[in-house]
Structure 1
Amino acid sequence: MKKLLIILISSYIICSCNTQIETNTFTTHSSLIFYKIADNYFVKNNYDIRGFTEKVISTENEFNQIFDMASFMGKNRKPTPIDFSREKVVVLLHPATNRSVELIPLKLEENEKMQAVYYYKLRTGEQSSFETKPKLIIIVSNDINKILFKKVD
């Protein structure tokens, strides 16, 4: 009897620990693509951004024309390394502004037409006393050929 009770309790514990992953019906015909956010870079002062820009950069030379490294004191405060022999960057650039601007990556996925689609959100906030050039840089594999941009409201 004790063995049966132990087996039943063990089975209950094992079954209750089972987690299920919910699937989003919006992405049933697509698959997510891995990316990482590049930190500690800034847009060079001499780089002129005329309007909101969505850009894919595949060479270090082109990247260095737009961005410079921003090193900070402390542990792990170096810029995210980018290996342009295996990676490229996807960039969102906002013109210089004195308002707070938040560029938010939502997801990068392959759609049913086998195209990479980058979903992002842009939030504009309060006015500030200084001007910035907001940007968002993500790093993706060179295997991705074409990227479509999709701003989500």
Structure 2
Amino acid sequence: MMKNVYILFSILILAGCNSSVRPGDSTLNEEVPFKEARNYFVKNNIDAALDSPKFENQQEFKKVFGMATTMGENGKPTPIDFSKEFVVAQIEDPSTQAIELKPVSIRKNSNILEIKYRKVVGENRSYTSQTSMVLIIDKKYDSEDINIEEIL
């Protein structure tokens, strides 16, 4: 009798350990590495409302962004290899305030790429600019659905 209780107890414990993660499904809340692109600017003919925040090729990217090369060691725009990488961008409305967008995290949950960022608003300036956050991500983390969320 006691042996049957142990067997039943063991079966219940094993059944309770069953996970909803399927073999081969490693994209549940997976942290995604990224690079932040530097020395690009939003072209004057672009407003903040984009059809999609994702850019999969150089032609799409060049319609929205230009290169802002400056002098010095870090003056060249960050290279993007669209054969291996894609870009996700958050573009703010034009503003006279100094605005900085800081990426906090990128995670992949099933087929949704979840991007969280923090917005830092600075002082007023005498000119208008359009701030953007340009993130370069490896294509192995590609996803159809992208959710970009500002955290406070």
- Pairwise TM-score range, normalised by the shorter structure: 0.7 to 0.9
1:151 aligns with 2:150: yes
Distance 1:106 1:57, change over 3 A: same
Match for 2:129 among 117, 126, 132?
132
What is the deviation of 1:145? Answer: 1.5
- Does the aligned pair in 2 maintain the 1:52–1:92 contact within 8 Å? no
Number of the residue aligned with 1:59: 57
What is the deviation of 1:53? Answer: 8.2
- Does the aligned pair in 2 maintain the 1:102–1:122 contact within 8 Å? yes
Distance 1:152 1:53, change over 3 A: farther
Number of the residue aligned with 1:109: 107
> Over aligned residue pairs, what C-alpha RMSD do you find?
2.0
What is the deviation of 1:106? Answer: 0.3
4+ runs of 1 displaced by more than 6 Å? none
What is the deviation of 1:123? Answer: 2.5
Report sequence identity in percent: 30
Partner secondary structure for residue 70 of structure 2: coil
Number of the residue aligned with 1:100: 98
In the alignment of these two chains, the number of paired residues is 123
TM (norm. structure 2) is: 0.73
Distance 1:52 1:124, change over 3 A: farther
Partner secondary structure for residue 128 of structure 2: strand
